[in-house]
Amino acid sequence: MNRMDRMDRLGRSDTPRHIGIIMDGNGRWAKLRGLPRADGHRRGVERAREIIQAARELGIEALTLYGFSSENWQRPQSEVAFLMKLLDLFLRREMYELKKQNTAFRTIGDLGRLPAGVRGLVREAERITADCNGMVLTVALSYGGRDEILRAVKKILAAGIGPGEINEETFSGLLDTAGLPEPDLIIRTSGEKRISNFLLWQSAYSEFYFTETLWPDFSAEQLLRALSDYQARDRRFGAVKA
C-alpha cells in the first residue's frame, strides 16, 4: 500500500485540525551510524519537508514544528551556528514552494535572539505567504513555553489591562500562537516522554503520541500511524460521554 492509499484509508472525519511535533533524535540518529551530528540535522530537515507535505495532503489546518528551543542556545557554538545555517538554507529554498502550495509560514518564539540574516528571511517568508489560506506551517524558533507565557504577562502589564478584563480568551490572544486552534495532537519522537517546554498553555487538552522512532526516520507512514492512534481515542475534555 503506497502513501496515498494509506491517506485515503485513514479517512478525514476525525483528522486533527492542529498537530504539534517535537522533532527529537537527530544527534542520536547520527551517532548510531557513526556520523557527525550535522548529518543528523541535515537528515532531520529533509524529514521535515516530507512531513509538511504529508500533513498538507491530509488536510491538516495547522502544523507546528519545534525547530529550535530557547534552551538550545546552550549547545556548542559550532552546532548552533550550523543549525542557523540550515535554517537559512531551508527558508531560502522553501519559502516560494510554500507559497506555491498555498501554505502560510509563521514563527513563534523570541526571534530577537536569531542572527539578523535569519530574522530577515523569516520575515520575508511570512510576508510572501501571508495571503495563503491553506495549511499554516508554524516553526518554533528560540521558543520556550514558559518564556511565551511571561511575555504575554508583560504585554498585559504594559497595556494596563485590569484583573477583571483577563480571561482565557484574552490571554490566548496575547500568546505567540494567537489565531491558531489549540493543538489536538502533539507528537514526540525518539522515545522521550516529556513536552520540553513546548506549547505549555496551548496543550492543556492535547492528545500526546510518543514514539521510539528517531526524527530522521519519522516518515509519512509513521505520521499516519500516529493519526490512526489519535482517531481511536475518546476525547471528552473533562466531561462525561453521553
In whole angstroms, give the CA distance from residue 22 to residue 68.
Answer: 10
CA distance from start to end of the chain: 37
Please identify which of the residues 39, 72, 147, 229 carries the catalytic annotation: 72
| β-pair type (185-188, 207-210) | parallel
Q: CA-CA distance, 87 to 33, in Å (whole number)?
A: 24
Q: For residues 119-145, b (16+ Cβ closer than 10 Å) or e, as one string?
A: eebbeebeeebeebeebbbbbbbbbbb
Whether 22 and 36 have beta carbons less than 8 Å apart is answered as no
Instruction: Give me the catalytic one of 24, 26, 184, 197.
Output: 24
C-alpha distances in Å from residue 236, one per residue of 105, 174, 207, 229, 242: 31, 27, 11, 16, 10
CB burial of 6-16 (b: ≥16 within 10 Å; e: otherwise) equals: bbeebeeeebb
Is-contact 101 155, C-beta < 8 A?
A: no
Strands of 207-210's sheet, edge to edge? 104-108, 136-143, 62-69, 18-22, 185-188, 207-210
Cell 520575515 sits on residue: 123
- Whether 72 sits among the annotated catalytic residues: the reply is yes
Distance, CA of 99 to CA of 103 (rounded, Å): 6
Active site residue 167: no
Indicate which residues carry an active-site annotation: 24, 72
